[in-house]
């Protein structure tokens, strides 16, 4: 059996010599961080252009007003500049410093007003006075600025010039796909599509948004001759996944497994949230990997990221959420503190390694039938007794539970032997014609 998902993490094809995967992912996070992204607009397009330098993308532009399930594609928002100037002409709030300073989807404004009136449009985090919050007004036409509570306290009474140079007009919602075709077919092989999704809409949020993108890109680059087909979707949160589902209703049944990647770069441990089904193959594979790495597995809830769209009852796709510290559970979440310094190359590499282990299980998991089920077959004369590189207990467990009902992940879970050792034993036993794959 061939190795289906490429070389080990430190030997990916095309990597510049001496540049670990974690460092390359971190460099991508740093490069994407200053771009002002939103549900729509040129910031999303620029983000996809940078991603396309690493992997080819098929970019989709969906016009404003297009019905998508119970939603409608919104107008496109773009912004060129924004600021609040004091009486001396100094920019006390400046979009050029960070896109977080402007409430996402703010309508254009050009006015002069006293601080008392301006306060109604200013957003801070009193409990975190040094941080700038992330705020949006996607579906309400208003405007606003975000700043630290300490900056607000320093503003004297007086007149302020307010400027938001933005447009909100008919345009498009932009998302992109990268597909790695699998060698398996739906009939007989159990192969199908694996959906990997991450959102592209949030500006200047390094772990929450950009780390997931970086991990997805690195995984896509490393896939080599997989059995399943891997479809990577880079789309704005909620409306993007809803649009993708609306445009792919006739083919979603091909999705056999799926992961949403978010909050993927902070130093906390891994967390996996199960799909709505709770016992899908991806749930079992992710739980096996995450618990072995000291992480946490939690049940599905209809709140979070785009897994809740894929797991809506009409679709009920087997799609879970993989994060490190979950959304809303770390103080840097949706603030200016979620910057590239908060993300570490080590955490990115660990997330990537976990995703690759999950992929390995999805690729290699099979159900076998023991061809010599009456008594234990003689392993010595087949070179399988004490063979170098084989876990002897894994060999015995695979022989015993290869009854057409237990797959390799069942065996790994019951034996508490790592899946990779179980799969290696199964390959050796299949090569020796002691087991054969059960019909799907």
Tens of pLDDT along 281-294? 999 999 999 999 99
Question: Over pLDDT 70: what percentage of the chain?
Answer: 94
- What is the per-residue pLDDT for 16? 42
pTM of the complete model: 0.93
What is the rounded CA–CA span in Å between residue 430 and residue 266?
41
Tens of pLDDT, residue by residue over 325-383, are 999 999 999 999 999 999 999 999 999 999 999 999 999 999 999 999 999 999 999 99
Q: How confident is the model at residue 2 (pLDDT cuts 50, 70, 90)?
A: very low
- What is the per-residue pLDDT for 18? 39
Q: How confident is the model at residue 38 (pLDDT cuts 50, 70, 90)?
A: very high
User: How far does CA 186 lie from the centroid of its chain?
Assistant: 25
- What is the per-residue pLDDT for 185? 56
Mean of all residue pLDDT scores within the chain: 94
Q: What are phi and psi of 75, to 5 degrees?
A: -65, 155
User: How far does CA 401 lie from the centroid of its chain?
Assistant: 34
What domains sit in the chain, N to C, each tagged with a CATH number?
9-73+172-364 (3.40.630.10), 76-169 (3.50.30.90), 367-437 (1.10.10.10)
Q: What are phi and psi of 411, to 5 degrees?
A: -65, -45
Query: Considering Cα of 288, then 231, then 38, then 209, what sign does the dihedral take?
Result: positive
- What is the per-residue pLDDT for 190? 66
Mean pLDDT of 249-254: 95
Question: Over pLDDT 90: what percentage of the chain?
Answer: 93
Mean pLDDT of 101-109: 98
Helices (H), 11-166: 21-32, 42-51, 115-118, 149-154
- What is the per-residue pLDDT for 189? 56
């Amino acid at each position: 059996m061939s190795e289906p998902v490429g070389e080990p993490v430190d030997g990916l094809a095309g990597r510049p010599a001496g540049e670990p995967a974690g460092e390359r992912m971190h460099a991508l996070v740093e490069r994407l961080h200053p771009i002002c992204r939103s549900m729509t607009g040129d910031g999303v397009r620029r983000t996809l252009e940078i991603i396309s330098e690493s992997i080819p993308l098929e970019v989709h532009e969906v016009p404003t007003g297009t019905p998508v399930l119970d939603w409608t594609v919104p107008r496109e928002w773009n912004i060129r500049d924004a600021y609040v100037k004091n009486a001396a002409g100094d920019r006390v709030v400046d979009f050029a410093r960070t896109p977080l300073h402007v409430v996402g989807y703010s309508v254009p404004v050009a006015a002069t007003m006293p601080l008392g009136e301006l306060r109604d449009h200013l957003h801070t985090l009193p409990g975190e006075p040094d941080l700038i919050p992330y705020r949006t007004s996607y579906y309400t036409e208003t405007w606003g600025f975000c700043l630290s509570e300490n900056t607000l306290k320093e503003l004297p009474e007086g007149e302020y010039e307010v400027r938001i140079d933005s447009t909100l007009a008919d345009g498009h919602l932009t998302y992109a796909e990268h597909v790695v075709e699998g060698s398996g077919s739906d009939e007989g092989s159990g192969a199908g599509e694996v959906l990997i999704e991450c959102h592209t809409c949030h500006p200047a949020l390094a772990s929450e948004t950009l780390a997931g993108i970086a991990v997805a890109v690195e995984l896509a680059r490393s896939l080599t001759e997989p059995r399943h087909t891997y479809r990577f979707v880079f789309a704005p949160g909620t409306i993007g996944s809803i649009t993708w589902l609306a445009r792919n209703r006739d083919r979603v049944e091909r999705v056999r497994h799926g992961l949403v990647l978010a909050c993927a770069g902070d130093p906390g441990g891994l967390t996996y949230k199960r799909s709505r089904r709770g016992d899908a193959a991806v749930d079992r594979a992710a739980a096996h990997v995450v618990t072995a790495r000291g992480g946490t597995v939690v049940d599905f809830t209809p709140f979070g990221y785009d897994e809740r769209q894929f797991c809506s009852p009409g679709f009920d796709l087997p799609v879970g959420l993989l994060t490190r510290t979950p959304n809303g559970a770390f103080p840097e979440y949706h603030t200016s503190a979620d910057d590239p310094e908060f993300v570490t190359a080590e955490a990115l590499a660990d997330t990537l390694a976990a995703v690759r282990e999950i992929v390995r299980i999805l690729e290699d998991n099979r159900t076998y039938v023991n061809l010599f089920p009456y008594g234990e077959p003689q392993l010595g004369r087949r070179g399988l007794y004490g063979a170098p590189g084989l876990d002897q207990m894994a060999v015995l467990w695979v022989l015993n539970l290869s009854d057409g009902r237990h797959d390799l992940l069942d065996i790994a879970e019951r034996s508490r032997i790592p899946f990779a050792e179980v799969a290696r034993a199964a390959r050796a036993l299949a090569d020796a014609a002691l087991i054969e794959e059960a019909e799907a």
